Amino acid sequence: MNMGGYLYYIARQSASFTVSFSLLLLLGSPLQAAEIRLPSLGGDSSASVMTPQQELLLGEAFMRSLRQQIEIIEQPEIQHYIETLGQQLVSQSDDPTAPFEFFVVRDDSINAFAGPAGKIGIHSGLIEKAESEGELAAVLAHEIAHVTQRHLMRALESRQNQSLQTAATVLATIIAASASPQAGEAMIATSAGLSLQQQINFTRSNEQEADRVGMQTLHNAEYAPKNMSAFFKRLQQASRHDGETVPEYLRTHPLSLSRIADAESRIGQYAPVSRRSDEEFQRIRTLLKIPQFTNPQSAVRHYQKALQQSSLEQQQILQFGLGIALQQAEAPKQALQQLLPLLEQQPEAPTLLIQIARSEAESGATQQALQRIREISRIYPTHRALAQFHAELLQQQRQFDPAIQRLQQTIADHPTHPALYQQLATLHTLANHPPESHLALAHYHFLRGETKVALQQLDYAERASKKTGTNFILFSSIDERRREYESKQALEKAEEKHG
Ligand SMILES: [Zn+2]
């Protein structure tokens, strides 16, 4: 099954609707319509505008159904990187306080998509294809613009004569139909084929708006606007080279010659920006690339050979790649021989330091690894990947309480990241704190939109806490969470009833 093609679905259902429905959807593994569980979007047909709350519920439903079909990369360094880059661009966009979530999907195809409530996914294949952070930022800025310009939401809301529940049902049907790409395409041909020309116009105007608004964001964030047209051209070349296989991104974001020309003509309007460093981007790209080799040994051979032929400019990043490959091949001492010299030029790069500390810990020098992570954490106190690795090292040393403290500090800075609560739950289990473990797990599920499971975990937490005696702080934490989850559940139920 071809995982991860995306379908940009634009249907003109009937003459009584304006061009009405564009969705970025997943073509993935077989999926039952019943599994989708989209919230209904308000039965009141006069309410054509979705409330922010409804949009968030739709966004959560979207993520739940996405997680069943694709692999979202959980490695903290990669997550931290894409979130930081994405949020930095959001802060320079025309809607800097809107909620967004950025994630990387493990998929070789070149694609990116914007779902409801600012859920933006980037395929690992696209990151590999981009040649600089600026090019990746250009794609992100374009997706952010699709969200801030409300392209998807406007399409949903424009179905005036129809309850949003019906729209949600159509969405579910499309997802179910897309279980097989052929079936999905056949369905588009029949229901959307009514107005091909208008489809194209609709798409083009959205794409051009996203390019224009995105380019402004890109420049505000001090990336050169030319990164946008440079990436378009790279895509065009890729589709020529690969013959018949058009990159998915071009199917979901149609690229016309006029789009490239427009982008190029706008570049001149912007003041020049100084070139940004690409080192962290290159490291992240390397971390994404290594698992693609058939085994660590072949990655080692690849980087050894590449280093022999490399230019001076490429040497550092290839050496980083060789270091990671050696680490994966369980040769941590050899990995350190490659990684440690890189500190000379990059003494404070968190991703590099995490890899070095990991190799040190694996070769038995855990104290040194801990020392290194403690020092760099002073410079980057809110770096999530650093904190998670620090807690992991402390856990290996069976220092559970300090590890818990370290994670709790980080949670104060990043209160909405499920992975942190998952790690916290594990630590509480190891430290033999069952109620706290269930409480952390409850919030992990809550943040993933699994409210029912979250409430169940709270019950377990309560039961466990009664066994361990009176702890008022714990009781009140459980109570507070319960009120929060129950009010969310009431909202979800109200939305379901509407439909
Ligand atoms: Zn687009």
Q: How many domains does the chain have?
A: 2
**What is the Å distance from ligand 1's center to 144 Cα?**
10
Return mean pLDDT, the chain: 80
| C-alpha 38 to ligand 1 mean position (Å) | 24
Give the span between the Cα atoms of 28 and 6, in whole angstroms.
Answer: 8
Q: How far is the CA of 289 from the centre of ligand 1 (A)?
A: 25
Nearest Cα to 422, choosing from 438, 434, 433? Answer: 438
**Does residue 182 lie in a domain region?**
yes
Q: Which domain holds residue 214?
A: 5-267
Same domain assignment for residues 159 and 304: no
Average pLDDT (213-224) is: 96
255 & 116 share domain:
yes
How many CA atoms does the CB half-sphere of 380 hold within 13 Å?
19
Residues 14 and 83 reside in one and the same domain: yes
The DSSP code sequence of 477-496 is HHHHHHHHHHHHHHHHHHHH
Query: Which residue, 127, 93, 87, is CA-closest to 108?
Result: 127
Q: How far is the CA of 268 from the centre of ligand 1 (A)?
A: 22
pTM of the model: 0.83
Domain end residue (candidates: 344, 359, 380): 380
Query: Which position has the token pair 């308000």?
Result: 42
Within a domain: residue 178? yes
Return the residue matching tokens 């790649």.
321
Distance 218 CA to ligand 1 centre (A): 15
Cα–Cα dist 120/152, whole Å: 12
Element containing residue 217 per DSSP (H, E) = helix 196-220
Q: How far is the centre of ligand 1, averaged over its atoms, from the C-alpha of 145 (Å)?
A: 9
Residue range 383-389: mean pLDDT, rounded: 96
Instruction: Please check whether residue 470 lies inside any domain of the structure.
Output: no
Domain contains 324: yes
The rounded Å distance from CA 135 to ligand 1 centre is 15
* 88 domain residue, yes or no: yes
Bridge partners (DSSP) listed for residue 11: 21
Q: Does residue 233 sit in the same domain as residue 315?
A: no
Ligand 1 centre to CA of 212 (Å) is 11
For position 331, which CATH number holds?
Answer: 1.25.40.10
Parallel/antiparallel/unpaired status of strands 21-27 and 112-114: unpaired
| pLDDT tens readout for residues 89-122 | 999 999 999 999 999 989 888 888 887 889 898 9
| Lowest model confidence (mean pLDDT) among 201-215, 241-255, 443-457 | 241-255
CB 446 within 8 A of CB 483: no
Same domain, 122 and 12: yes
Q: How far is the CA of 77 from the centre of ligand 1 (A)?
A: 27
CA of 182 to the centre of ligand 1 (A): 23
Q: How remote is the CA of residue 207 from the centroid of ligand 1, in Å?
A: 5
**341 pLDDT exceeds 60?**
yes
Task: Flag whether pLDDT at 165 surpasses 60.
Answer: no
DSSP 109: S
Per-residue pLDDT, averaged over 43-61, amounts to 69
Q: Are residues 98 and 246 in the same domain?
A: yes
- Residue 474 belongs to some domain of the structure: no
Q: What are phi and psi of 246, to 5 degrees?
A: -85, 130
Task: Using the mean position of ligand 1's atoms as its centre, give its distance from the Cα of residue 252 in Å.
Answer: 7
Q: What percent of the chain has pLDDT over 70?
A: 76
Q: Which of 380, 409, 428 is the last residue of a domain?
A: 380
304 plus 227 within the same structural domain = no
132 in a domain, yes or no?
yes
Which tens digit of pLDDT belongs to each residue from 356-373?
A: 999 999 999 999 999 999
Residue 20 lies in a domain: yes
Non-local CB neighbours of 321 within 8 Å, separated by 6+ positions: 286, 289, 290, 299, 303, 306
- What pLDDT is stored for residue 313 in this prediction? 86
CB-based contacts of 433-436 (< 8 A; 24+ apart in sequence)? 434/460, 434/461, 434/464, 434/467, 434/468, 435/461, 435/462, 435/464, 435/465, 435/468, 435/471, 435/474, 435/478, 436/461, 436/474
